Amino acid sequence: MTDRLKDKVAIVTGGAAGIGLATVEDFLVEGAKVIFTDIDSDKGAQVQKDLKDKALFIKARFKIEVQHPLRH
């Protein structure tokens, strides 16, 4: 463990699997406090348990709507 992210808080979306989970784990190793979200509440709760509650899981779904600047 390093202290590169000590005293930092990271919020990771999609943190219950894949790249998001790898990011959660890497940030923890680097010393960050981590909050992660996912739409899969069962998997998120299991990941939090597997990480021995070193990270906080919050069920969430994010939607971003983008309007094309040339269309009205």
**Which tens digit of pLDDT belongs to each residue from 1-40?**
789 999 999 999 999 999 999 999 999 999 999 999 999 9
Domain range enclosing 37: 9-59
In-domain check, residue 47 = yes
Give me the number of domains the chain comprises.
1
Sign of dihedral through CA atoms 16, 9, 54, 56? Answer: negative
How confident is the model at residue 72, as a pLDDT? 58
Entry pTM: 0.84
Sign of dihedral through CA atoms 37, 41, 44, 45? Answer: positive
Pairing relationship of beta strands 9-13 and 55-59 according to DSSP bridges: unpaired
For residues 28 and 34, the answer to whether their CB atoms sit within 8 Å is: yes
In-domain check, residue 23 = yes
Of 1-5, 12-16, 45-49, 66-70, minimum mean pLDDT range: 66-70
